[in-house]
Structure 1
Amino acid sequence: MLPHSYTADSLSQSQDLTSIILSSSTPQEISSACASIESFLHSHSPDQCRHFFSVTFPPLICKLFGFNDATSSPAKPKSQLANGWIDTVLLSDDADLAARVFSLLSPEGTLMSTISALDSLFLVKYVFPTERLPEWTRFMLSTDKDCSILSVICSLFKGKVGEDSINGSFRQIHLNVFEYYMFWFAYYPVCRGNRENLVSVSVKRSKKFRLENWTYSIRGSSSVNKREPERKLECNLYIRLLLAYLRSFVPVLDFRVHQSYGSLLHYASGHDGSIISRAEFLVNTFVHYWLVDNDFSPLPVNVCKSFGVSFPSRLVLGETIPTSGLGEAVKLFVEYLNLSLMQS
């Protein structure tokens, strides 16, 4: 048990660190905040970091991705997406700043190693905002019947459907620290693209929007994009992090993708169970946030029928406009999985 004085000191330091993070907007302030975070984590053992992850980590996510409030509804009117650290790096074209933030968030960095150690101790759990979940998941959580089988029908949510402490129903998604961060990481390009669509000049919809239409947002896929100056890869922090997370958490050797509602990955025998579990979680998270297209749900129709689950038709809900800017992340993700197929 930690001494009370040490616990109070840790809480005070976490609160001070939160203030530093929330006030950081310029490249110099962001670099200083990164250094302060790493200094705090280096000087505290994982079990001493509970205040950091309960008090400081949610505001850090807000600043990273430019969310004004990580718990507020995305339906609240906003003129534009606030510039978070990732956007600031991209706009500044500052390779040193990009390297600084990448070092903090990389799989080999102090933050990720602390998250891994903390999760192994089962010390912190978060409730992920329902309104930030994929649309089909929100639909299932809206009824007691569908909610009760969500963790059975979809492996991504196995063991993650928890009780709402306010109304007592099982309509919340509980995540550990790594899962919580990756849900926000996957949600970021969706949120950013949707907000850009809201503030952009309206265009006439085509009769049908499909997944292949997302290619317009992939750099180099159109004549307009070809005329745009190419930003340095090291300053496209989101894509760099995505590739780093895939390489670290989804090993490409000795696995193949197959059609199954239970798992998207099949590793040969001998792989560590925790590695397989983390790889499946990450791939499933990106699939459910990015690759649903206009089918509403990524779950196979026969699986839904076997459990008595019926999703509304897109003819009723209306077509979904392809999310602006998501194409680059989708292209990298799909190409990475294709690489695994060629090497297996």
Structure 2
Amino acid sequence: GGAILAASTAVAAARAVSSVADYLRRHAGDHPRAFFADALPSLLFRVFVASPDSPSFIDLAAGDPALAELLASLLAPSGPLLAAVSAADRHALLRFVFPPERLPDWLRLALSSATAASSSSSSSSDEVISPLLAGRVDSELHLSVFEYYLFWFAYYPISAATAKATGMAAARAPKIPPSISEQSLKSLGRIESWMSTLGSSAGRNLGQKLESSLYLKLLYSYLKEFVPSGCVPPRNMGGTLLHRTVSDGIDAAESFRRAEFFVHTLIQFWLVGDDFSPLPVQTCRAYGLPLLSLQSHANATLVERPPAPGLGDAVKLFVMYMNRINASVDIDAPNVFEGISSWREACNSPVGYWNPLIQRPLYRFLLRTFLFCPMGVEIKNVAQVFSAWIVYMEPWKAQKDDLDAYDLPPPGCRNVHRVTEGKRQVSEAVYSPEWENFVLSNYLFYSSLVVHFLGFAHKFIHSDVSSVLQMVSKVLEVLASSTELLGLIYSVDATYHHRFFGSASCYLDHVLKYVPSIREQLQDWEYGLSESDADGSFLHERRNFNLRLFSFDEEGAYNLLQVYIIMQLSLLANFLFLSLFRV
């Protein structure tokens, strides 16, 4: 363990990884308890946790192909580490406690709150708060070896953000304000850079990387292994993590339990994270959960936090994969929160079983990014989050070829590039009526979130004109990509605002049943969030109770787009003026 913790260079990391792999292969049948107790925590800490002065092994592998190959071989689903982890859990060798300080904010608060409550009253509600709390003992999470590994894996993007923030704070120093002439030249350079990149960036996908990172490749391999296509609750399982029953088909039930735990882990660490309203309001009311106390504690410590570097790319891949498997499932699966009316209708294909679990956490994750992203943040981090939103809005474009770039290379091959004859044909998949239920169940992603994003564009237009312009153009392109899609979005908006539903034949009758759930989602998914709250108190004076995508009022999308265009023209005028001034 000490040698692993001391490895701070790529060479030392490769030596430590090789020694671990060799040891596990030699003792594959011995079930070495000492290794898990002593070496495994140190190994996972160094692989996935970064600090300003000591990069993680994953980070070191970005510049060292040999180390990347060793890590991929060790951590792959078929690799020696997970094989040993599986064997350890089969023999129930030991359980781990994940460090509470590295848990998502609200989950840590839930644990501390549960400690003060009596065990009899909190045992049933813990599983409702989060399936990850099902194994709680007092104020700790007692995890199997496999669950412990997944927690550290999910923590990696959060660790990278923490390390970067710490390093930036240490390096921050007061600067002398530049002169007016220097500011003018700087503005001119920014605008010239924007003008020169418009043509070349028009065809570039925001957040797309030329080569996927090792972490993303591992994520994709785990999703394929642990959440395979068609993974749904077994019919004889009789429940989920929240409603377990003992029945036949233990293998199928255990496989699904593992898949559900993995999905919930990614959701809690990545999407929910520091959200001060992590649970649907109706869920809290139905189970008598103390939402307000959790919220008040969270509000006291919550600050504006930029998106974690790389987290958007991981969420995008997660969404891409879940879109694929959701589209392949055609069942009437039970929902985790069966009593929530807005989710009960959302399980019809092609929404699938998993989509209702993702909707609210993903929406609030995107909304927090757009509303509370502080000035000075790197726009590329926001662009990665934005790309995850766009992918989620267009599940009909999900293609297997889009995921091929995330495949781990075969053993012994450091760089594998697929060579295809001719250029790859771009998918022409567009919205079709088969996806109507998906759009209706996720309507706020196509309406309210668009309006909030336009507010973000106003705020950050001067930070990175090119990136913001691309993002706005992409959103409008998605909405206008199909006349059927745009017509459906407009019909729902018109029906939502119509006071006498039955008097107009132009509205879709089958859309009416979604209006109550959309209204419920609007109030619940945006609970406690307000664009006007600058002091971190998140008061509720300006909570959004209405759809504004087709509104002509001051806060409607039409007015926001009009102001946005004026700002663009103003920037162009400044560019021309400064160019003449410089000449």
Question: TM-score, length-normalised on structure 1?
Answer: 0.71
Q: Does 1:152 align with 2:127?
A: yes
Query: Quick one: which of 136, 139, 158 aligns to 1:161?
Result: 136
CA spacing shift, 1:111–1:254, aligned 2, 3 Å: closer
3-state secondary structure, aligned to 2:278: coil
Aligned length: 278
Residues 154, 269 of structure 2: 8 Å contact kept: yes
CA spacing shift, 1:59–1:100, aligned 2, 3 Å: same
Query: Quick one: which of 264, 269, 277 aligns to 1:289?
Result: 269
Q: Does 1:309 align with 2:290?
A: yes
Rounded to whole Å, the distance in 2 between the matches of 1:253 and 1:263 is: 18
Instruction: Give the aligned partner of residue 61 of structure 2.
Output: 89
* C-alpha RMSD over aligned residues: 3.3
Residues 216, 314 of structure 2: 8 Å contact kept: yes
Rounded to whole Å, the distance in 1 between the matches of 2:46 and 2:274 is: 31
Q: State the Cα deviation string for residues 289-344 of structure 1 (Å, max 9, x = none).
A: 11127742432222222223223157655454243221111111111111111222
**What is the CA-CA distance between 1:232 and the residue it aligns to?**
3.0
Q: Does 1:328 align with 2:303?
A: no
3-state secondary structure, aligned to 2:264: helix
Rounded to whole Å, the distance in 2 between the matches of 1:245 and 1:273 is: 18
- 1:44 maps to a residue whose letter is H
User: Unpaired segments of 5 or more residues in structure 1?
Assistant: 1-17, 69-79, 163-169, 203-222
Q: State the Cα deviation string for residues 257-299 of structure 1 (Å, max 9, x = none).
A: xxxx9669xxxx9771111011000000000111127742432
Q: Does 1:180 align with 2:152?
A: no
3-state secondary structure, aligned to 2:295: coil
Q: State the Cα deviation string for residues 59-115 of structure 1 (Å, max 9, x = none).
A: 1112112456xxxxxxxxxxx26211100011x1x3332121111011100110110
- 1:287 maps to a residue whose letter is I
Instruction: Give the aligned partner of residue 105 of structure 1.
Output: 75
| Greater Rg by CA | 2
Query: Quick one: which of 213, 217, 240 aligns to 2:217?
Result: 240
Residues 105, 111 of structure 1: 8 Å contact kept: yes
- 1:238 maps to a residue whose letter is Y
Rounded to whole Å, the distance in 2 between the matches of 1:295 and 1:229 is: 27
Q: 1:95-134 counterparts in 2 under 5 A?
A: 95-134=65-104
User: Unpaired segments of 5 or more residues in structure 2?
Assistant: 173-200, 234-238, 243-247, 330-583
Query: Quick one: which of 46, 49, 57 aligns to 1:63?
Result: 46
CA spacing shift, 1:228–1:132, aligned 2, 3 Å: closer
Moved over 4 A (4+): 225-231, 261-264, 313-320
Residues 156, 284 of structure 1: 8 Å contact kept: yes
3-state secondary structure, aligned to 1:174: strand
3-state secondary structure, aligned to 2:148: helix
Residues 124, 177 of structure 1: 8 Å contact kept: yes
Rounded to whole Å, the distance in 2 between the matches of 1:33 and 1:293 is: 32
Once the two structures are overlaid, the 10-residue window that deviates more, 141-150 or 183-192, is: 141-150
Q: 1:170-319 counterparts in 2 under 5 A?
A: 170-200=138-168, 230=209, 232-233=211-212, 236-255=213-232, 272-292=252-272, 295-305=275-285, 306-310=287-291, 311-312=294-295, 317-319=301-303
Rounded to whole Å, the distance in 2 between the matches of 1:155 and 1:294 is: 14
Q: Which has the higher contact order (CA 8 A, sep 6+)?
A: 1
Residues 132, 261 of structure 2: 8 Å contact kept: no
Rounded to whole Å, the distance in 2 between the matches of 1:248 and 1:156 is: 21
Rounded to whole Å, the distance in 1 between the matches of 2:48 and 2:168 is: 20
Instruction: Give the aligned partner of residue 167 of structure 1.
Output: none
- 2:262 maps to a residue whose letter is L
- 1:64 maps to a residue whose letter is V
3-state secondary structure, aligned to 1:142: helix
- 1:190 maps to a residue whose letter is I
Question: TM-score, length-normalised on structure 2?
Answer: 0.43
